[in-house]
Amino acid sequence: MLKLYSFGPGANSLKPMLALFEKFTFGQQFTVHQLNPRNFEHHADWFKALNPRGQVPALEDANLPEGANIITESTVICEYLEDAHPTAVKLRPTSHYDVAQMRCWTKWVDEYFCWCVSTIGWHRHVSTMVKDLSEAEFEEVVARIPVFEQQVKWRRAREGFPADLLDEEMRKVAVSVRKLDDHLADNEWLAGGVYSLADICNYSTAAHLTMGYDELVNTEDSPHLLRWIDQIKARPAVVEMYAKVPREF
Ligand SMILES: N[C@@H](CCC(=O)N[C@@H](CS)C(=O)NCC(=O)O)C(=O)O
């Protein structure tokens, strides 16, 4: 049995969730334990014992010995599922060349695309979780965050991100939209002509762009990106995942 610790179906949590729903039967072969970000549950001691970084997602694999049974890092979890739990459903292309292309896309989302979208998301949404806390309550929250850089991010979310940083992140979102749309104009999927971890990992960040980024993501400027998002949303595993995993608490 596999257990995924995650937030709702979005961003990094969404990557392994999509892979799990493609490959396995929900409730029988895997379960999802949702943490409530509004309660800062991911910074609780019980969860930090599983992932010392206090971040989701994390995968628990009951086939592994206790104490060495947690896999972290969303893209690594997806690759782990392919390697350790092969199924008839393959989420990697077959040739080494195509797998290399797939990894360029997953690397790109991890190192560039997800960061700019994440900062805008923290500015617009995550900040609301801490804006109304008293100074003392907020310091208590920050004291439980194990990663210094994340402490800085929570402080910025509360105080407000600098305008020049937000402008630069929006520029990078625009670059990302262009890159995806241009590639998808000539390709049904991102790598090797098949639905793969390249699509899963990029969709997990890109799906979010259909709300609140109208000036960049629209039928005139990014029709191919929208076609690809719709195509992924229509997959039976994706329909099932959205039906079974609550979006928010
Ligand atoms: N590189 C990690 C990043 C994980 C990450 O940033 N998770 C976010 C949710 S998408 C999180 O736990 N944020 C809460 C926090 O950092 O306090 C991965 O890909 O899994």
Query: Residues 214-233: pLDDT tens digits?
Result: 999 999 999 999 999 999 99
Tokens 């972290």 belong to: 72
Residues 5 and 58: beta-carbon distance below 8 Å:
yes
Looking at 67, 91, 115, the residue that finishes a domain is 91
**147 and 228 inside one domain:** yes
**62 and 100 inside one domain:** no
**Which atom of ligand 1 is nearest the CA belonging to 7?**
9
Q: State if residue 106 touches ligand 1 by the CB under 6 angstroms criterion.
A: no
**203 and 83 inside one domain:** no
Q: Is residue 231 part of a domain?
A: yes
Looking at 49, 68, 91, the residue that finishes a domain is 91
Q: What is the pLDDT of residues 194-205, one digit of tens each?
A: 999 999 999 999
**150 and 114 inside one domain:** yes
pLDDT of residue 131: 87
Q: Is residue 247 part of a domain?
A: no
The CATH number covering residue 47 comes to 3.40.30.10
Q: Is residue 225 part of a domain?
A: yes
Instruction: Return the residue whose CA atom lies nearest to atom 14 of ligand 1.
Output: 55
Q: What is the pLDDT of residues 74-114, one digit of tens each?
A: 999 999 999 999 999 999 999 999 999 999 999 999 999 99
**126 and 13 inside one domain:** no
pLDDT of residue 134: 95
Closest CA to 27 of 8, 5, 1, 6: 1
From 14, 40, 56, the mutation candidate for ligand 1 (largest count of ligand atoms within 8 A of CB) is 56
SS3 234: coil
Q: Is residue 137 part of a domain?
A: yes
Q: Is residue 31 part of a domain?
A: yes
**182 and 119 inside one domain:** yes
Q: How confident is the model at residue 249 (pLDDT cuts 50, 70, 90)?
A: low
The model's pTM is: 0.97
Q: Is residue 242 part of a domain?
A: no
Looking at 43, 64, 91, the residue that finishes a domain is 91
Q: Which domain holds residue 72?
A: 2-91
Q: Is residue 40 part of a domain?
A: yes
Q: Is residue 245 part of a domain?
A: no
**Which atom of ligand 1 is nearest the CA belonging to 154?**
17
Mean of the per-residue pLDDT values of the chain = 96
From 43, 55, 106, 144, the mutation candidate for ligand 1 (largest count of ligand atoms within 8 A of CB) is 55
From 12, 42, 144, the mutation candidate for ligand 1 (largest count of ligand atoms within 8 A of CB) is 12
Residues 41 and 141: beta-carbon distance below 8 Å:
no
Give how many domains the chain has, as a whole number.
Answer: 2
